[in-house]
Chains A and B, each alone.
Chain A
């Protein structure tokens, strides 16, 4: 039987807690205490869909495992400390989908896991249309609809919204966004991104100073509410 979630953590107590939470939520799971064990499970068929990865592993640097799990088709959610900004950015750049900071709130954690599972379960979107909370963006029709109304965006804003919506619910790092939308030469021109996000929020958010749609993780990147 397919296990949906692979728990990778060397702390038995944390593992037991995560198991409890997943049990109560009715999500099937399998666990690993080391990187080696995790990779073995992830390579076996049927592979789990989502990996919950604690970066502090006894046998390997957690960051090394991220790209390997991602390559095996798993959606990786990293467990990190709140102040470990660089670690988060590195994990995301290496292919992780998301991160949850410790000590975690089980509700929040389950919401992230469900979101990831949903993305995995849904058919790989081949169309030019992406959904997000309260609206959608269509690349072919060059159309953005929010709360039933058309919104006019500049080409740059359109590209930005598309890039974010293409990774629904996932954090895209600042640098990656700049690279994809403005080009590699502008990887560090964070100011461009800030200004564009502002103007996008003004056009999309009901209250731009309390954003609900385009959420920032300070020092890490942006996510669009899925």
Chain B
């Protein structure tokens, strides 16, 4: 099941962040038709267009009003899409064309509109949501009574219920602009015939137009808009770090019952949750047994749950015999501050007989506020179970009693009188415990009659003339009801816990089966087979391979229809549930659920049922969610295993490459040493002087390459381990000069080192290597006649060694300078491996230093190595 929707900072940040990327929604909200929403929307859009915004009219209903139609003039209007439906042609908003066109702002009138069958979404607000997701700003119009959570409220005082509702969630981040018109003015407009009313609804709608109702609607609209502004303000305050008035820990739990009144309770809870700015959870208690939910009620329950989910509730199903106790327990577990529960107006007798769950909850819910929503119709009465047969209980009771009375009657001569009383208890106990209380009472009645008729004086009459017989009769009836009640309770508990145990067992089995599989084909096949068997549905798993949709798991369903495919793709791309019984692409025969994990969407599970009715029954929703989780995890495991295998292969290849590189570099070194020594042994004079010089410099270059390659592979292997000791940077710098043969006559390097620079703790060998690379680089990139400076600077916390040259400097963009194989423009000319600076950076960082590069203000480049100065100037006392 979903986590209860957390109204916490994370969600608010997410909502704000989404608001940045998503298109912005502006809703022109009116209290009633005819207040001028479309007119106002067009006016504002004209103003925005004049400011240079790209405005497109997607849908604008002018209802033949000329002043409104005139306002349309300046706009580009999107042609409507014709949809053939039952011989008619319906014009609908063309969402694909709108997405293709991508305007800055699109006007889509009448948010609550229901699209023609065969459209992509059944509702227009879904089209709008898609536009927003793809980053297009939308302006739309809406009347207050179409808002889902206010639907009951409006219907309550107007006695008109509109069927077309818009979920509150889409309005969450919208800017709400109330188009306000005083009731009197509106009635005036209505009389003047300026308000369009659809023909069929016209008559009913006139009920709206009384001053008191309009005033109430107007107040509702203004309050809704104020609430929305308030919430947006709170979000922004939170983003600015201000806490605001934020109800911490408020959480609402609503008990969902299968009746029609359930929806009313859910809407009430939603309003409460909005007011308290709290997350809310809808809980169904499966009590099993006689009061279990069957048939039509099951459908109603599913609908109620769907409503709760669409209004933003987290769903939860608990199995328990004691409904009230389960609700209170769940509320405690969720730390809910309020429980909302419906209570029908039932007769006192019914309540006395069955008890009232609401009363029980109030009794048990210590410390938790309980809100009771009175329900219109008493539809909460538990329905008779479908296997109920009116004659069954008395008949079986009669048979059991007869089976006992017969032998007892035959043997009565041998039996003492008291034993007969006792023996007649037997059929009552049997009937009450094996069947139910009803049958037990019947049995008690029959047994009492039989006792009276066969065993008491006067025999074979039904006359009672002994108080003892009356007592026997009463005792039999009492025993029957007590045992019947106890047995019934035990049976229900057993059924419930057996159900839970079955559920857990099948989940465990499912996880076990999937855990052992190591390829996608098998995993899909087993998952679909098991899910199909557990939920009595057809199941498939679809996934995207490249751009192609692949169907697995069920050989009977190899290919999908176009609609099915569209629904599957929608689920795979957006992670939403689509298809039959859902709000998106419900023309599909399948219902697709995303297999979502931390790694992303692994695929989609498609479920279908050949017969009519909901594919997934309400009480199976929890099981399905668990199965989906398990399936998703199994797929995730496959992906991770694949990756682990690939990483292993890559690592092995990398290791081999490193080893090969190391051994090649090493083997090349020995002959190269000879080449260099030989080249330097030849005097660079006479006819071949130039060639000798070239041979020497190229051989040295090759040697540097090799050195770089070896050092690079050592760094990559993690083989650079600093040996920190006290060092004098003066010594390191002069060693670098010796290495680069810059310490003799004709050297181009000048040093500026203070006499009393600090001693630092570092690795002299690594620093020496890093500095060799930097100085060598500086020498290579600057003119032969220029000077390279090495400057050592100290402050109390750091020692900085700068290498300054008079070369061309660094290009403006030199972010990747210290990356491997980074070569700046023109560096090919001098020929480097592209590893030198990367090596220097790694070595400097290995000793805790920082390397940086910049241009000198008066030309040339500057590389700086900044090292932490350590407090190591303590002289030995006796020095």
Q: Do A and B come from one complex?
A: yes
Report if B651 contacts A (CB, 8 A). no
Contact of A190 among B674, B725, B763 (CB under 8 A): B725
With A105-B680, A198-B728, A211-B730: A191-B674 Cβ-Cβ less than 8 Å: no
Residue in chain A with minimal CB distance to B676: A103
Q: Is B872 an interface residue (CB 8 A)?
A: yes
Are A11 and B759 in contact (CB-based, < 8 A)? no
The reply to whether B730 and A209 contact each other, CB–CB distance below 8 Å, is: yes
Note all chain A residues with C-beta closer than 8 A to B756: 198
Cβ < 8 Å to A, chain B residues 825-879: 872-876, 878-879
Q: How far is A189 from B876 in the complex, measured between Cα atoms in Å?
A: 9
> A192 vs B725: C-alpha distance in the bound complex, in angstroms?
12
Within 8 A of A (CB), among B662-697: 669-674, 676-678, 680-681
Binds A, one of B351-359, B628-636, B764-772: B764-772
The answer to whether B734 touches A83, judged by C-beta atoms less than 8 angstroms apart, is no
Query: Which chain B positions have C-beta within 8 A of A198?
Result: 728, 756, 759
Q: Are B879 and A195 in contact (CB under 8 A)?
A: yes
Query: Which of B720-741 touch A at CB < 8 Å?
Result: 723, 725-728, 730-732, 734-735, 739, 741
Q: Is A154 an interface position by the 8 A CB rule? A: yes
In the complex, what residues of A have CB within 8 A of residue B727's CB?
Answer: 194, 218
Interface residues of A in 144-192 (CB under 8 A from B): 154, 156-157, 182, 189-192
Query: Are B741 and A105 neighbours in the complex by a CB distance under 8 Å?
Result: yes
Tell yes or no: A202 within 8 A of B by CB: yes
Given known pairs A218-B765, A218-B768, the reply for A191 and B879 (CB within 8 Å) is no
Stretch at the interface among A14-22, A62-70, A126-134: A14-22
Question: Which of the 9-residue segments B193-201, B607-615, B747-755 touches chain A?
Answer: B747-755
Q: What sequence of 0s and 1s flags, for each residue 93-127 of chain A, a beta carbon within 8 Å of any chain B beta carbon?
A: 00000000011111000000000000000000000
Give A194-222 as 1s and 0s: 1 = Cβ < 8 Å from B's Cβ atoms.
Answer: 11111100100000111100011111000
Determine the distance from Cα of A104 to Cα of B765 in the docked complex, in whole angstroms.
Answer: 19
Do A209 and B755 touch (CB < 8 A)? yes
User: Distance (Å) between the CB of B825 and the closest chain A CB?
Assistant: 31
CB pair A11–B674 under 8 Å, yes or no, is yes
Is A85's beta carbon under 8 Å from chain B?
yes
Are B879 and A196 in contact, CB atoms less than 8 angstroms apart?
yes
Complex contact B878–A156 (CB within 8 A): yes
Residue contact A17 to B674, C-beta cutoff 8 Å: yes
**A3 contacts the other chain (CB 8 A):** no
A222 to chain B: closest residue by CB: B731
Does B228 sit within 8 A of A, measured CB to CB?
Answer: no
The answer to whether B728 touches A103, judged by C-beta atoms less than 8 angstroms apart, is: no
Say yes or no: is B297 at the interface (Cβ < 8 Å to chain A). no
Task: Specify which chain A residues have a CB less than 8 angstroms from the CB of B671 in the assembled complex.
Answer: 13
Does A142 count as interface, using CB distance less than 8 angstroms? no
What residues of chain A lie closer than 8 Å to B879, measured between beta carbons? 154, 156-157, 192, 195-196, 199
Q: Let me know if B677 and A216 touch, CB within 8 A.
A: no
Contact between chains at A83 and B764 (CB < 8 Å): no
Chain A interface size range: 35 or more
Given A83-B769, A103-B703, answer yes or no on A11-B670 (Cβ-Cβ < 8 Å): yes
Residue of A104, A209, A217 with most chain B CB atoms under a 10 A cut-off? A209
Chain A hits for B875, CB < 8 A: 192, 195
Q: Please judge, given known A-B contacts A208-B755, A209-B754, whether A195 and B735 are in contact too, CB under 8 Å.
A: no
A82 within 8 A of B: yes
Categorize the interface residue count of chain B.
35 or more
Task: Give every chain A residue within 8 A of B872 (Cβ-Cβ).
Answer: 191
CA–CA, A82 to B735, complex, Å? 11
- Given the known A-B contacts A21-B681, A195-B876, A210-B751, are A218 and B731 also in contact in the complex, defined by CB atoms under 8 Å? yes
Contact indicator A190/B726 (Cβ below 8 Å): yes
Report the bound CA distance from A156 to B879 in whole Å: 6
Question: Which of B681, B711, B735, B763 is the one whose CB lies under 8 Å from A17?
Answer: B681
Alpha-carbon distance between A81 and B665 when the two chains are bound, in angstroms = 13
Assess whether B680 is in contact with A106, with CB atoms less than 8 Å apart.
yes
**Complex Cα gap A210–B732 (Å):** 11
Contact B873–A195 (Cβ < 8 Å): yes
Complex Cα distance, B875 from A156, in Å, reads 12
Q: How far is the CA of A217 from the CA of B731 in the complex (A)?
A: 8
B732 touches A218 (CB 8 A): yes
Take A189-B876, A199-B879, A219-B723 as given contacts and tell me if A194 and B728 are in contact as well, using a CB distance cutoff of 8 Å: yes
How far, in angstroms, from A20 to B671 measured CA to CA in the complex?
A: 16
Which residues of A, 1-37, contact B by the 8 Å Cβ criterion? 11, 13-14, 17, 20-21, 24
A194 surroundings in chain B (CB, below 8 A): 726-728, 759
Within the assembled complex, what's the spacing in Å between the Cα atoms of A197 and B759? Answer: 12
With the chains together, A190 CA to B767 CA distance in Å?
Answer: 17
A-B contact count, CB below 8 Å? Answer: 102
Distance from A192 Cβ to chain B, minimum over Cβ atoms (Å): 5
Closest Cβ of chain B: how far from A206's Cβ, in Å? 12
Note all chain A residues with C-beta closer than 8 A to B678.
Answer: 13, 17
Residue in chain B with minimal CB distance to A18: B677
Cβ-neighbour of B753 out of A102, A154, A209 (below 8 A): A209
**Which residues on B sit within 8 Å (CB–CB) of A189?**
876
Are A202 and B755 in contact, with the CB atoms below 8 A? yes
Name the residue on B nearest A81 (C-beta).
B669
Contact (A14, B673) CB under 8 Å given A20-B681, A192-B879 = yes
* A83-B670 in contact (CB<8A): no
For residue B725, give the distance in angstroms from its CB to the closest CB of chain A: 5
By a CB distance below 8 angstroms, the chain B residues around A103 are 672-673, 676-677, 703
Shortest distance from the beta carbon of B712 to any chain A beta carbon, whole Å: 13
- Output the least CB separation between B216 and chain A (Å): 88
Contacting pair B765 A191 (CB below 8 A) = no
Closest to A155 in B: B878
**Closest chain B residue, CB of each to CB of A107:** B680
With A104-B677, A194-B726 already in contact, the answer to whether A82 and B739 are too (CB < 8 A) is yes
Task: Give the docked Cα–Cα distance between A117 and B678 (Å).
Answer: 24
Closest Cβ–Cβ distance, residue A16 to chain B (whole Å): 8
Residues of B within 8 A of A216 (CB): 728, 731, 734-735
Query: Smallest distance from the beta carbon of A27 to chain B beta carbons, Å?
Result: 14
Q: Which residue of A lies closest to B670 (CB)?
A: A11
Please report which residues of chain A, range 77-95, place their CB below 8 angstroms from some CB of chain B when the two chains form the complex: 81-83, 85
B249 CB → nearest A CB, Å: 60
Cα A215 to Cα B737 with chains together (Å): 12
Q: Report the minimum CB–CB distance from B799 to chain A (whole Å).
A: 14
A163 shortest CB reach to chain B, Å = 15
- Identify the interface centre among A24, A215, A216: most chain B CB within 10 Å of its CB: A216
Distance in angstroms between the alpha carbons of A154 and B877 in the assembled complex: 12
Cα distance A218–B847 in the bound complex, in angstroms: 15
Chain A CB within 10 Å, residue with most, of B671, B672, B673: B673
Provide the bound-state CA to CA distance between A83 and B878, in Å. Answer: 35
State in angstroms the CA–CA spacing of A14 and B676 once bound together.
10
CB contact between A85 and one of B681, B765, B878 (< 8 Å): that residue: B765
Q: B677 contacts A106, CB within 8 Å?
A: yes
Give B736's nearest chain A residue, CB to CB. Answer: A218
List the A side residues contacting B681 at CB < 8 Å. 17, 20-21, 24, 106
Q: Is the CB of A102 within 8 A of B680?
A: no
The CB with the most chain A CB atoms within 10 A, among B711, B732, B741, B879, is that of B879
The listed residue with most A CB atoms (<10 A of its CB), out of B672, B728, B755, B764, is B728
A191–B735 alpha-carbon span in the complex (Å): 19
Interchain CA distance A137-B711 in the complex, whole Å: 43
A105-B740 Cα distance, complex, nearest whole Å: 11
Closest 3 CB pairs of A and B: A216-B731, A218-B764, A13-B674
Q: Write 15 A-B pairs (CB below 8 A) sorted by A numbering.
A: A13-B674, A17-B674, A20-B681, A21-B681, A83-B711, A154-B879, A190-B726, A191-B726, A192-B875, A211-B730, A218-B735, A218-B765, A218-B767, A218-B768, A219-B763
Beyond the given A102-B673, A191-B872, A216-B728, please list 11 additional residue pairs across the A-B interface where CB-CB is below 8 A: A102-B669, A103-B676, A104-B677, A105-B741, A106-B677, A190-B726, A192-B875, A194-B728, A195-B879, A209-B753, A218-B732
CB within 8 Å of A: which residues of B? 669-674, 676-678, 680-681, 703, 711, 723, 725-728, 730-732, 734-735, 739, 741, 751, 753-756, 759, 763-765, 767-769, 872-876, 878-879
